[in-house]
Amino acid sequence: MARMFPHFGGWPGSEGYAQIAWNLSHRGLFSADGTAATTERMPLYPMILAALMRLAGGGWRPWAAVMNALALAASAGIATRLCNRLYSNPRATWACALLLALHVAWTAEALALRETVWFALAVIGLASVLTTQPIPPGRLIAAGALAGAAYLLRPTGFLLIGLFPIWLWAVRSDLPRPLVPPVALALALAGLAVGSWQSYSIRATGQLQISDSEGGITAFKGAIPEFWVAEPWVDLDLLNPLADERARLAGARSLPERDRYWRDEAVRTIRDDPAQWIAKGFLKVAELLSPVGTPFGYGRINSTGGSSRLEGFRWDPWTFASVPSAVLILGGAVRRMSRWRALPGPERSLAEMAAILLALLCLVHAATSGETRFRLPFDPLLAVLAAPSAAGLWAGAARRLRGRPATADR
């Protein structure tokens, strides 16, 4: 599989999750090395894997792949069901299903043993709940749990935590009455997720974490000049040995020390040459939103003698596989979001929140790292918005083939 999908380095998964999960299941310690507590990954997916390890023992990996496949099917199912409810248009529902089915990059990333598909499930589940008219109290409380789960699954989950109360305000006319108890409980569940992670982080590292400790190294890799050696050609994680070596030479040993070193170095590099950092930011956003999969391939980075160079580069054969689907998803979603004033209530709130979320996502990744895979868990949500446009295009093409005039999508 690793040869088939080299674009997803370490496919079928990131071993960091498995290492933490193993230590959690066998030693009761949320740790990467088995001795020191870590904030290296957000906790929910390692906890899921740890539970699976306890149940399945050494044969847990196939079951983890099956579990991710079920989550993939669930996220696609919720997206198509949401389309059916929003548009009452079978063509749009089928268009959404086809857009996701033909999205090779999304499928490959979702089946990797990472948190991606679970985060996508939380995002599309939250969207489904908050576009219901009216929203029952139980579903509203579930929305708070989904927002909290998103935060505990992926660093960018903090964007959903921030957006959650804004979204509640946008759909306030659909909220249950009396308003205060269910809204308070939903917000409390989301806040509980934040509080539990921050409480653990303070005990483990002595400091708060906006997301996880990878923020420091990601900011470092996204700021240093060697960024141009890796991006957009290979995964930025190939600079991890360089980051580790520089932290070691600077005397940073513990995780908090290393994280502080990476953050300080990132700030210093940005101050020395802000124009370069801005240029990198534009490239990161272009990568994030690119229908062509980035990075373009794989190789190795050789860092010796104070310089780095890319060696053994080979193109990823799947780089262009998702271009048709991704173009339709991104183009259709942007078109729909640009027409938000003319959309009916539930869809209008969905378009507004998706636009805000996408803008915030671009800002975050412009400052850190912007590979295409960081956008993929949001593609089921974008596919919902893109479905009417895609259905209209396909219907128009079919009519032209039959010699009939096309009609606009709703």
Backbone phi and psi for residue 39, each to the nearest 5 degrees, phi listed first: -120, 30
**pLDDT in the model for residue 54:** 94
Residue 257 identity (one-letter amino acid): E
**pLDDT in the model for residue 405:** 55
The contacts of residue 45 (CB under 8 Å, 6+ apart) are 17, 114, 115, 118, 153
Closest among 133, 78, 80, 107 to 387, alpha carbons compared: 80
DSSP string, 385-397: HHHHHHHHHHHHH
Residue in the structure block whose two tokens are 């980035």:
294
Alpha carbons within 13 angstroms on the beta-carbon side of residue 369 total 29
Spell 82-102 as b/e; 16+ CB within 10 A means b.
Answer: bbbbbbebebbbbbbbbbbeb
**pLDDT in the model for residue 206:** 76
Residue in the structure block whose two tokens are 């190939």:
238
**pLDDT in the model for residue 404:** 58
The contacts of residue 161 (CB under 8 Å, 6+ apart) are 147, 148, 150, 151, 190, 193, 194
What's the token pair of residue 191? 């806040």
**pLDDT in the model for residue 63:** 92
The contacts of residue 107 (CB under 8 Å, 6+ apart) are 72, 101
Q: What is d(CA 369, CA 362) in angstroms, rounded to the nearest whole number?
A: 10
In tens digits, what is the pLDDT along the chain, a chain of 410 residues? 445 444 444 444 567 888 999 999 999 999 888 888 888 889 999 999 999 999 998 889 889 989 999 999 999 999 999 999 999 899 999 999 999 999 999 998 888 888 999 999 999 999 999 999 999 999 999 999 999 999 999 989 999 999 999 999 999 999 998 999 999 999 999 999 999 999 998 888 777 776 555 558 888 999 999 999 999 999 888 898 899 899 998 998 877 788 889 989 999 999 999 999 999 999 999 999 999 999 999 899 998 877 889 999 999 888 899 999 999 999 999 999 999 888 888 889 999 999 999 999 999 999 888 889 999 999 999 999 999 999 988 877 777 777 755 554 55
- Per-residue three-class SS string for 317-342: CCCCCCHHHHHHHHHHHHHHHHCHHH
Instruction: Tell me the CA distances in angstroms from 369 to 29, 254, 378, one per residue in order.
Output: 29, 24, 16
Q: What is d(CA 198, CA 137) in angstroms, rounded to the nearest whole number?
A: 28
Residue in the structure block whose two tokens are 């193993």:
22
Query: What is the torsion angle, in degrees rounded to the nearest 10, for the CA atoms of residue 26, residue 30, residue 36 and residue 39?
Result: 160
Residue 13 has what DSSP assignment?
B
Q: What is d(CA 292, CA 24) in angstroms, rounded to the nearest whole number?
A: 37
Q: How far is CA 346 from the centre of its chain?
A: 23
Prior bond of 46 cis (ω within 30°):
no
Q: What is d(CA 398, CA 206) in angstroms, rounded to the nearest whole number?
A: 62
Determine the 3-state secondary structure of 228 from DSSP: helix
**pLDDT in the model for residue 25:** 93
Q: How far is CA 152 from the centre of its chain?
A: 12
The contacts of residue 15 (CB under 8 Å, 6+ apart) are none
Do 113 and 17 contact (CB within 8 A), yes or no? yes
Q: Which helix (H) or strand (E) holds 298?
A: strand 297-304
Instruction: Tell me the CA distances in angstroms from 84 to 78, 332, 334, 380, one per residue in order.
Output: 10, 17, 20, 14
Do 377 and 357 contact (CB within 8 A), yes or no? no
**pLDDT in the model for residue 323:** 95
Residue 289 identity (one-letter amino acid): L
**pLDDT in the model for residue 215:** 59
Q: What is d(CA 381, CA 369) in angstroms, rounded to the nearest whole number?
A: 22
Do 336 and 389 contact (CB within 8 A), yes or no? yes
Do 84 and 93 contact (CB within 8 A), yes or no? yes
The sign of the torsion formed by the CA atoms of 268, 371, 197, 171 equals positive
